[in-house]
Structure 1
Amino acid sequence: MDSTTARGQAAPSPTREQALALAREQALDAAERLFYGRGVQAVGMDDIRGASEVSLKRLYQLFPAKEHLVEAYLERRDVRWRARLAEHVDSVREPERRVLAVFDWLELWFAEPDFRGCAWINAYGELGATSERVAARARTHKAAFRAYLAGLVGAAGRPAALTDHLFLLAEGAMVTAGIDGTTEPATQARAAAQLLLEAGK
């Protein structure tokens, strides 16, 4: 059907709120591709404008400063990242295997062709010392991931202290995989996690 309604009337134009929401998503899609692929400091607002086809005026209307765009990009990515992880883990029923499924998912993530390491570690490394917004977003993401692991550890009947060990294994695997460009760190971290789980019985 074309832009007319069933009654032959012109379809209503998007409201200002709808137009802003669409522009925001376009800007965030472009920001995610560019910031994650090339680094935050290597990408300017002109690059975002060109990739998103959102005017600079509209971009700055939505995000008064580049820092705000980086923060929004990290926040949206956090929601999606944790949802993908949970979806994978939820496909496993046995509590101990659910813990190990975290590392199985990391291996799948590391194998993706556009994997460039952890977005929050990368952004913190670039801007954490100068942007409290970016630093806070990175801390929030890591705290949420640790809390998720804690829930899995508790459900598996293992000591709460095991959470920190598993968290550091996962974080170390992310950093190493980002640098080396291989999935091997996930395999190694999973093997270490399994030993820790067995020792905690």
Structure 2
Amino acid sequence: MNETTGNETRDIILDVAEKLIYRNGIAATGMDLLVKTAGVSRKSIYRYFANKEDLVVAALKRRDERWMHWFSSEVDKAPTPAARLLNLFAVLKGWFASEGFRGCAFINTSGETGDPQDPVRQVAKMHKQKLLDYITRLCVDHGVEQPQVLARQVLILIDGAITLALVMGDHDAADQAQDVLKTLLAGQ
């Protein structure tokens, strides 16, 4: 008999929750679907998470860590600070074309919550702040005069490109956002 440890069970639950929430949204991801898809009992879920909200928050935090690691690792493969800034959008374009792309999980789940203090919204805010901090570091490395200003502009370009890629099916939105960044960098 193949028994899983507590951590493995928790990881399975989080993996399944993250995938279902990303694909279907929070509201459409009920506990029955989680139980069926994860192949665990409802009791197992509640052993690790007090309620659905705790599970959603944990799954989103996990996605943040994994996505930020993936994204920064890919962007940082470019050889120079200027190339890394432009590579933000090359990496995004690849993501847009990947199977199962459903936009930004943090924008999507934020849209399902009305309260800015909701824990889900707070995780989304934390994710966007981490992304902004990363972009700011790239701007500093490039020697931008006002790195915080440019970083906020780049974040808007990123989120705009993600939205167009999802809503319009326009994977070239990443190229267009990169062109806008080139213009901004030329004005530095």
Indicate which of 79, 86, 90 corresponds to 1:104.
90
Q: Aligned runs of 1:132-171 on 2, under 5 Å?
A: 132-158=118-144, 159-160=146-147, 161-171=149-159
Determine helix, strand or coil for the equivalent of 1:126: coil
Deviations 1:73-111, CA, capped at 9 Å, x for gaps:
110000111111111122112111110111111101111
Unaligned stretches of 5+ in structure 1? 4-12
Q: Aligned runs of 1:47-58 on 2, under 5 Å?
A: 47-58=33-44
Indicate which of 62, 65, 71 corresponds to 2:57.
71
Percent identity for Structure 1 against Structure 2: 35
Change (3 A) 1:195 1:130: closer
Cα contact 2:75–2:88 (8 A) shared by 1: yes
The alpha carbon displacement at 1:19 in A equals 2.1
Cα distance in structure 2, aligned partners of 1:197 and 1:21 = 46
Cα contact 1:166–1:193 (8 A) shared by 2: yes
Count of residues in correspondence between the two structures: 186
The alpha carbon displacement at 1:143 in A equals 0.2
Is 1:93 aligned with 2:79? Answer: yes
Cα distance in structure 2, aligned partners of 1:63 and 1:176 = 35
Is 1:30 aligned with 2:16? Answer: yes
The alpha carbon displacement at 1:128 in A equals 4.5
Deviates more, 1:112-121 or 1:154-163: 154-163
Cα contact 1:67–1:131 (8 A) shared by 2: no
Change (3 A) 1:130 1:56: farther
CA RMSD of aligned residues (A): 1.6
Match of 2:184 in 1: 196
Cα distance in structure 1, aligned partners of 2:122 and 2:103 = 19
Match of 2:175 in 1: 187
The alpha carbon displacement at 1:131 in A equals 6.4
Amino acid paired to 1:49: V
Cα distance in structure 1, aligned partners of 2:20 and 2:186 = 42
Cα contact 2:116–2:122 (8 A) shared by 1: no
TM-score normalised according to structure 2 size: 0.94
Cα distance in structure 1, aligned partners of 2:14 and 2:126 = 19
